[in-house]
Chain A
Amino acid sequence: MAGPVKDREAFQRLSFLYQAAHCVLSQNPENQALARFYCHTEKTIAKRLVLRQDPSVKRTLCRSCSSLLIPGLTCTQRQRRRKGQRWTVQTCLTCQRSQRFLNDPKHLLWGDRPEAQLENQADINPSEPLPNIADLPKENIQTQALNTSE
């Protein structure tokens, strides 16, 4: 079971606003203004409280006008080839801002990598200090002195 999350209520609020934007658009696809308002509020809260959102959420929000980007409804999505690489180009239909994402099946975001998880990160233990000479018997002291001189 996961431990207590810091700013849990704030994250719940962000989640609600994101769902509310989707809910409003699903009811009436023409009602983009309200969805945009909810997404803008969500972005402002995240910025004010310095909360890191998941990249999958951030990619569905326009960075300029805060529109909820749904391909075919509020944005267009095109596949482009450049320098031997394939890119997904997403263009917001409100402000015409475009974003490019690399189409690489091998690419993993840092958050998705196993080493990003705290439990998988190996703790490097500091080298153990030498035992105190005063606590050692005389025989041990002699052998230690021999080892160090070598």
Chain B
Amino acid sequence: MKAAIYHAFSHKEAKDHDVQELGSQRAEAFVRAFLKQSIPHMSQEDCESHLQRKAVILEYFTRLKPRPRPKKKSKGLSAKQRRDMRLFDIKPEQQRYSLFLPLHELWKQYIRDLCNGLKPDTQPQMIQAKLLKADLHGAIISVTKSKCPSYVGVTGILLQETKHVFKIITREDHLKVIPKLNCVFTIEIDDFISYIYGSKFQLRASERSAKKFKAKGSIDL
């Protein structure tokens, strides 16, 4: 108990603090009497065990580290970012007609496969229905009618189709941007000639695949 609760002053400490030195027995008797007076309801053994018991710290508070935020999955670029980065703009040095002839051959092969061989006895309505849903990139397309006379007669390979325009590369290596509105285009595939009314065709290439075209309506520029 002596070691756990208190220890007697040494001779030097007693002299420094000007305290009267008591014998070890007298000191212990005083401490016991003091404890009995302070805690009357506890027995001596309980009191000693209570005083000698070690405190156990149940909770240990650490400094909270700032949690690293989960990385956001970067989604695709927005339309504005695409325009700013010029992701889909064809550079002038790549605007050569000869470079896109293999693309046209690939397109012809695709259309033949789509229309099951394009036999002479095939119904034109069936081909037209397929062409409405088909992809036109790589087709040789020409403007037959237009409200703007300077567009009429422009022929070339279709490189890009957007909602409102066709981008066509001509034999003279010029990239022509022709609006769909108020224009009639012609596509020729193995002696089949198909007309596209641009005013009714004002859709994105991707939207056209899901669109249901209606037969009714006036066909005019």
Q: Which residues of A contact B (CB under 8 A)?
A: 9-10, 12-13, 16-17, 19-20, 23-24, 27-28, 30-31, 33-34, 36-38, 40-41, 44-45, 48-49, 63-66, 94-95, 97
Contacts and interface: CB of A to CB of B under 8 A. Distances in A.
> Would you call the interface of chain A mostly helix, strand, loop, or mixed?
helix
A13 B134 contact: yes
Contacts of B209: 10, 13, 45, 48-49
Contact of B135 (A17, A66, A95): A17
B115 to A, nearest CB: 10
B164 interface: no
Contact of B93 (A16, A20, A30, A66): A30
A12 B133 CA distance: 11
Contact of B88 (A10, A23, A40, A95): A40
Given A34-B159, A36-B87, A28 B134 contact: no
Contacts of A40: 88
B88 A36 contact: yes
Interface residues of B, number: 37
B103 A13 contact: no
Contact of B206 (A12, A23, A41, A63): A41
Contacts of A20: 103, 106-107, 137-138
B78 to A, nearest CB: 11
Contact of B103 (A23, A48, A64): A23
A40 B205 CA distance: 11
A19 B210 CA distance: 21
Given A13-B135, A23-B103, A27-B102, A48 B91 contact: no
Contacts of B107: 16, 20
Contacts of A17: 135, 137
Contact of A19 (B77, B93, B106): B106
A28 B102 CA distance: 11
Contacts of A30: 91, 93-94
Contact of A33 (B89, B134, B138): B89
A9 to B, nearest CB: 6
Contact of A48 (B85, B106, B135, B206): B206
B194 interface: no
Given A13-B135, A31-B94, A48-B207, 11 more contacts: A12-B113, A16-B106, A27-B100, A28-B99, A33-B86, A38-B137, A41-B137, A45-B205, A64-B74, A65-B87, A94-B85
Contact of B110 (A16, A27, A95): A16
Given A34-B160, A44-B206, A24 B77 contact: no
A94 B103 contact: no
A34 B90 CA distance: 7
23 contacts: A9-B130, A13-B133, A13-B134, A13-B209, A16-B135, A19-B106, A27-B100, A27-B103, A30-B94, A33-B91, A34-B90, A34-B159, A37-B87, A41-B137, A41-B205, A44-B206, A45-B209, A48-B207, A48-B209, A49-B209, A64-B74, A94-B87, A97-B74
A28 B204 CA distance: 26
A48 B133 CA distance: 14
Contacts of A48: 206-207, 209-210
A44 B102 CA distance: 24
